[in-house]
Each structure stands twice: as structure tokens, then as C-alpha cells.
A and B are shown apart, each in its own frame.
Chain A
Amino acid sequence: DTGVSQDPRHKITKRGQNVTFRCDPISEHNRLYWYRQTLGQGPEFLTYFQNEAQLEKSRLLSDRFSAERPKGSFSTLEIQRTEQGDSAMYLCASSMAGQGAGEQYFGPGTRLTVT
């Protein structure tokens, strides 16, 4: 297994367009997380799945954001009607339930630029 992968790595979109990102976690990991990171800041938690269930959502996740993990494997994060403030790095991480808490393995991220 090569680790957590994310696609695309970079996305440039115009304000008002919808975008969708994909995350493929480490295959045996049943927990999946989305974070957002802006320049000069640490990642901020967005949402968390255990298997296909979305168990936690941050207040940062406005109603324009939706995340899914339909079969408990890969996940998608969609942003509707993008705004310039959505420009950030979107990071996905995965972990195994019962594993030492905190050992989340991160993907390379998707950098979103909204023009």
C-alpha cells in the first residue's frame, strides 16, 4: 500500500463553480478525516468518518460543503458555489480504529485556488 492518496493535487476554479476532491485512504483504515489548511496555519478539522458514517462535522463545514464515504473506502469532498475564501490546501487523513489515537496518516493534499 502506498499510503493515502488524493486527487487532484491542484485545482484552479472560478468563483461560483463546484469542485469535488477525492481521497483514497490506506486500505485497512476505517477512519477517514478531512482537514483544511491555509498558508502559515496548521490544519483545521473539517469532518470525520468511521466506515461510511460521518460522525463529526466542524462548524467550519458550511452548507456549501458536503463529504461522503459511500462504501467505507474512498471519500469525496464537494464544495458548491466556491468562494475566494475557500482557497486552501485540503488534506485527507486516515487511521485505524483502536490504533494509538493521533496516528493519522495524511495524504499529499489538494491545493484549491479560487479566482
Chain B
Amino acid sequence: RKEVEQDPGPFNVPEGATVAFNCTYSNSASQSFFWYRQDCRKEPKLLMSVYSSGNEDGRFTAQLNRASQYISLLIRDSKLSDSATYLCVVNLRAGTASKLTFGTGTRLQVTL
């Protein structure tokens, strides 16, 4: 079983649609959680951190369910510029180490 699993997509949605991505992680001791965005052939960019209580940043809402080891990202009112690959990322901390474990990403294509 992969440490972080995501549906690879692609998700093809029209502008203005609401789209949701899900992610599961296998290590119950995981400490912190993030969504990154990666455009084609570019570096991952931090989209938002995910808090236990859930958090919202404009059109983006992230949720964390520790009991189910499940993370979600909701994008409302999709824009063409939202087209990218969305990476679910988990911080597996052991001692002083702080390495990130990435899912393979969910590809989103927003169309006119």
C-alpha cells in the first residue's frame, strides 16, 4: 500500500464548477498535512496547510479526518488558472527528521 494515495484523474471540469479531491495516508503517526500545486515541469508550490479543524483560503477548503486518515481539497468556482496537478503531502516526522511524503498527484483540467 502506498503511504499517500490519490486518484490520478484527470478531472475535467468546466469553469465555475466545484471539484473535490481526496487523499488517504497510511501512517497514523503523521504530524502535518499539506496540499501543493504543481504546474507542468515546474516545482511544487504550497497551496495550503491542512488543519485538524479544517481551513479555508478563498475558493479553497481543506479538511482532515485523522480517524479515517483522509484529507480532502475542495475548489469552488474553478478558474482556467486552476488547471494543474494537486499533490497531497504528509509530513512523517521521526525524531528531528522532517521529510515530506508526496502522493502522485491528481490532475485537474478546467475548460471553457
Q: Are both chains from one complex?
A: no
